[in-house]
Amino acid sequence: MSLLELKNVRKSFGAIEALRGVTFSVDAGSAVALVGDNGAGKSTLMKTITGVHRPDAGEIRFDGLSIVGKDPGRIREAGIEMIYQDLALARMRDVASNIFLGRELTRPVLGVRFIDTIRMRSEAEAMVARLGARIPSVSQMTGQLSGGQQQSVAIARALTFNPKLVIMDEPTAALAVREVEHVLDLIRTLKKDGISVILISHRLTDVFSVSDRIVVLRQGRVIADDATRDTSMNAVVAHIVGAHSEPAS
């Protein structure tokens, strides 16, 4: 059984059909790349998986259970974490504070609970070490870090929820070549730890580097769903621009 299964998922906004019968799956410990031109339906699909939108039709099952109709908080608790392109980091706070933002660790002092900064920094260091992230100190202000380092912080924060699936929206956009490879290494680390990844990206070189399968969306439909080893960059580009128009079977 796949970890995530979507069957004939549809979503419309008035007369606009954003998703027109989307079907695909994600196996445990695998990376599936989701590619397509702007307006293909990628953002709507991710918001539907994470509970921001409710599908008009179709089924979404995660770890064997339906998640249709559950709110984003419940879906996160089930094990799906989304890292948005803007990362949503508090750049004037340190790395450890960002990793535990909104669920700070506390300790009791005379019956009153205070934030346990020492423990947060210790656990943040362990998380950063687990990822192999190149962050000089968890006490450093997040806004002082490079783009790739900030992406590492966002991934570390996602892992504190113990996710089974991490959705990453354009994680290598606007990064230098050296930082891109570091982020790709982080994705490989997630896979080795048995955590599935959905990678949304326009950078096909990155997609071919880390993904196990490539799903192409066009005008709200799955046009192609192929093992990465069985397709090519030219074929994927042809699907994206519409040179091949038949939906995947």
pTM attached to this predicted model: 0.90
Beta strand pairing status for 112-115 and 106-109?
A: antiparallel
Coil, helix or strand for 128?
A: helix
Does residue 123 sit in helix, strand or coil? helix
**47-54: long-range contacts at Cβ-Cβ below 8 A with a sequence spacing of 24 or more?**
48/9, 48/11, 48/19, 49/4, 49/6, 49/75, 49/80, 49/167, 50/75, 50/76, 50/80, 50/82, 50/167, 51/75, 53/11
Q: Do 152 and 135 touch, CB atoms closer than 8 A? A: yes
Could you list the pLDDT tens digit for every one of the 249 residues in the chain? 699 999 999 999 999 999 999 999 999 999 999 999 998 999 999 999 999 999 999 999 999 999 999 999 999 999 999 998 888 899 999 999 999 988 888 998 888 899 999 999 999 999 999 888 889 999 999 999 999 999 999 999 998 888 999 999 999 987 888 889 989 999 999 999 999 999 999 999 999 999 999 999 999 999 999 999 999 999 999 999 987 555 554
SS3 125: helix
66 neighbors 60 (Cβ within 8 angstroms): yes
Distance in angstroms (rounded) separating the CA atoms of residues 210 and 188: 7
Query: Which part of the chain is CATH 3.40.50.300?
Result: 1-79+164-249
What class is the 1-79+164-249 domain? alpha beta
Quote the crossing angle between the two packed helices 147-159 and 117-131, to the nearest 10°. Answer: 110
Specify which residues 134 forms β-bridges with: none
